[in-house]
Amino acid sequence: MLKGQSRKELSHARIVDVASKAIRRAGYRGIGVADIMKEAGLTHGGFYAHFDSRDALVVEAMAKAGQENIASLLQATERRLTQGGTRFQALVETYLNAAHIERMEDGCVIAALSSEMTRQEDVVREEARRRVDAMVALVHSALPDGSEESEAAVVTATMVGALQLARTLGGKAGIALLAQTRRALIGRHQHSTHH
């Protein structure tokens, strides 16, 4: 057997992938072990050969979701950059895009889960913290050189909060909130190149 990944590793990756979408769509407790296994083409009995507990899967699923988020934000930002504007502007326009209101399962894991994070077991909370740190670092990297990390944290909080409220409001009000938040963030940071 010389394949890059064993059969078990492939199954494992499929389960984590399904779970990373499930927790974003339905929340930490919104989908059960049996459903996740089924969606991954397996039966629930085999679950504990892959994970010590449901929470162990949740941790891996959050990590996967966060890494996907960062990768696709970087990629979309790069694409948008070719159309002019600053890197920060491109990031904000990608994250606060109206399309991000729907398809939560492919969206930001922090926006999907943040108000539930403090209520999770320690291992899960720790991963949540890592996700927030990684997102802040990404925003920081898009801000002009010399910007403070704390500034990136405020921007992150604004984007996450706006996306959540836009989802709750829904419809035109939601889209309008995202648009207004984009304008506010971009307007505010366009002159900050001389930091």
**Tally of CA atoms within 13 A in the half-sphere of 77 that contains its CB:** 20
- Compare residues 82 and 118 and give the one whose CB is closer to a second copy: 118
Q: Is 167 in the site for a second copy (CB under 8 A)?
A: yes
Interface size with a second copy, residues (CB under 8 A): 43
- x/- contact string, 87-126, with a second copy (CB under 8 A)? -----------------x-----xxxxxxxxxx-----x-
Cite the DSSP H helix spans in 4-148. 7-26, 33-39, 54-81, 87-95, 109-117, 122-142
Q: Find the distance separating the first CA and the last CA of the chain, reported in whole Å.
A: 55
Site for a second copy in 144-163 (CB under 8 A): 150-151, 153-154, 156-162
The b/e string for 100-133 (b: 16+ C-beta within 10 A; e otherwise) is: bbeebebbbbbbbbbeebeebeeebeebbeebbe
**19 neighbors 60 (Cβ within 8 angstroms):** yes
Q: Out of a second copy, DNA, none, which partner does residue 98 contact, by CB within 5 to 8 A per kind?
A: none
**89 neighbors 190 (Cβ within 8 angstroms):** yes
- Compare residues 6 and 150 and give the one whose CB is closer to a second copy: 150
Q: Is 187 in the site for DNA (CB under 7 A)?
A: no
- x/- contact string, 21-40, with a second copy (CB under 8 A)? -----xx-xx----------
Cα 184 → chain centroid: 22
Q: Which residues of the shown chain bind a second copy in the complex (CB under 8 A)?
A: 26-27, 29-30, 104, 110-119, 125, 128-129, 132-133, 150-151, 153-154, 156-162, 164-165, 167-170, 176-177, 180-181, 184, 188
